[in-house]
A = this chain, B = another copy of it.
Amino acid sequence: MEKVNLLEKFSLFTEHWQPKIVGELNDAYVKIAKIQGEFVWHTHANEDEMFYVVRGQLTLKVEDRELELLPGEFFVVPKGVKHMPVAKEEVWIMMLEPKTTVNTGDVQNERTVADSPWI
């Protein structure tokens, strides 16, 4: 039962595309990640996923649209909707998603992280 300071948590790691769990509530995890470059197009069949930007500018490709998210902005990708995060420069994001969510959804590749660690 401790409070979580996001910037403090972000200061503990430098690697990209490796989500860390910083909280849990009900059936969901609060995760943070540093990302840079392109991810992979994927879909979560049963899980809505929230992306909240803490630092930097996130391009979120969502089906045929492209959203630009700045710090203090979020977007919820509905279940079943194909999406791909892209970060031209490094971006720090907070995500909220069911505990069952795998980062690459229906795709399995070298970016897949099935079990994120707590930080």
Contacts and interface: CB of A to CB of B under 8 A. Distances in A.
Contacts of A5: 70, 72-73
A1 to B, nearest CB: 7
B23 A72 contact: no
Interface residues of A, number: 34
- Stoichiometry, copies per complex: 2
Nearest to A53: B3
A40 to B, nearest CB: 21
A12 interface: no
A75 interface: yes
B23 A50 contact: yes
Given A5-B73, A25-B97, 12 more contacts: A1-B78, A3-B60, A3-B67, A3-B74, A3-B75, A4-B75, A5-B72, A6-B74, A7-B72, A23-B76, A24-B48, A26-B47
A54 to B, nearest CB: 8
